[in-house]
Amino acid sequence: MRVLFMATPVSSHFTPMVPLAWALRSRGHEVLVLGQPDVVEAALAAGLTAVEVGDRFDAVEALTARLPAGKRPNQAGRAQTTDASPFTLVMPWIMHARYLMKQYLEFASRWRPDLVVSDPMEFSALLVGGVLGVPVVHHRWDIDPLGEQPLEMARQMLGARFARHGLSGELPGPDLVLDSCPPSLRGPEPAGGRAPVRSLRYVPYNGAGTLPRWVAEPAGQRRVVVSLGGLTAALNGVPLFRSVVDALEALPGVSPVVTLPAAYHGDLGPVGGATKVVEPVPLNLFLDSAAAIVHHGGTGTSLTACAFGLPQLVLPQIGNESLWAARLRDHGLARELTDPDAQDDPAAVREAVRELLEDPSYAATARKLAEEMAALPEPAALAAELERFQEGRAAR
């Protein structure tokens, strides 16, 4: 079986699909990733084959346009979703599909996949599936609060363009949806969904990396990890790292580990003897030694922390990270500080982390969620199901 993976051009939209791609490869299937350079680089780092289409998207460049000097996007009142806004979350990817759908379809028509697995916001994948008559499986990379709204927007705004590229009739929806967010955390499915939804176990994949020597050292005091994503520092976020470090260093018995690109270590300034400031490495290499984590609310970081059963402090910055923060808070395993002034207040951060460490209910709830995640079907089981699914469709 030939399986084509597609994703919108942000590496964190693609990486949740990597374990399933590995599972399919291990069962002997041909797997190919089709995307812009941002996705292709992540695919190659994961040991997958890929085809590059279009130019680099560069999320940092897009987010820094018109960003006031010294301000993070959330301080500037932009780039933070406080509700499930279809326009905010969907429009960038509808515009993206306008310019690349022809190139995607041309390649797919030559390669002839038997199955397409895609990020739900990569609308070109539905065009490929519709024109070629092959099933499309959506692999969610985020909490899905919008239901059928993104698909309806794509039909309204891209329908004529899809028709010009050979799609007769309405843009089809996915044939199957995969979701690695545990059911109790994601809540009930939005009304109106037509495709069946399958849960699969979230297998942490946070990119490739080398195991640092310090990971093997005894954790000593309570280790609190600070991981604010790949964009925060580049988006004027080093002062936020500073306020978090100051907060944690004032907590007795805490040993902070701060993941920060080396280019920003000097800007961070001096840190205490118990604090490690390290290059970003895959979180799954060392979260088993942590007592809690402070992060930005990205999907990969959130679910990785959940898989390790950790209490979390979420400081959302862009996109719908605030929705993750609220969901984790409401589930009882996290504190959240969404207001930028509170995020920059070491006292507020310190008090939130103190509560996470001293109130055992957070850790107990986090462990219960980790157990729920571990009991879900692993990607290998879903790979076998996709084989049967594709065979059933081909036999019709």
CA distances to 1, 17, 182, 345 from 314, rounded to whole Å, are: 41, 24, 18, 14
What local confidence, expressed as pLDDT, does residue 85 receive? 62
For residue 368, the SS3 value is helix
Where do we find the tokens 């399919």? 24
Please state, in angstroms and rounded to a whole number, the distance separating the CA atoms of residues 315 and 278. Answer: 20
Q: What is the DSSP string of 248-316?
A: HHTSTTEEEEEE--GGGHHHH----TT-EEE----GGGTGGGEEEEEE---HHHHHHHHHTT--EEE--
Please state, in angstroms and rounded to a whole number, the distance separating the CA atoms of residues 276 and 256. Answer: 6
The pLDDT tens digits along the chain (396 residues) read 999 999 999 999 999 999 999 999 999 999 999 999 999 999 999 999 999 999 998 777 777 777 788 889 888 775 554 455 666 778 889 988 998 999 999 999 999 999 999 999 999 999 999 999 999 999 998 887 677 888 889 999 998 999 999 898 888 999 999 999 999 998 787 766 788 999 999 999 988 888 888 888 876 779 999 999 888 998 899 999 999 999 999 999 999 999 999 999 999 999 999 999 999 999 999 999 999 999 999 999 999 999 999 999 999 998 888 889 999 999 999 999 999 999 999 999 999 999 999 999 999 999 999 999 999 999 999 999 999 888 877 766
Q: What structural domains does the chain harbor?
A: 2-201+377-394 (3.40.50.2000), 213-374 (3.40.50.2000)
Please state, in angstroms and rounded to a whole number, the distance separating the CA atoms of residues 129 and 66. Answer: 37
**Which tokens hold the place of 107?**
């390649």
pTM: 0.93
DSSP H helices, the chain, are 11-14, 18-26, 37-45, 59-64, 86-111, 124-132, 149-164, 183-186, 238-249, 265-268, 299-307, 321-331, 340-343, 346-358, 360-374, 379-394
Please state, in angstroms and rounded to a whole number, the distance separating the CA atoms of residues 169 and 344. Answer: 52
Q: Please, what is the Cα angle at 44 between 47 and 30, to 5 degrees? A: 60
Q: Which residues contact 91 (CB under 8 A, 6 or more apart)?
A: 153
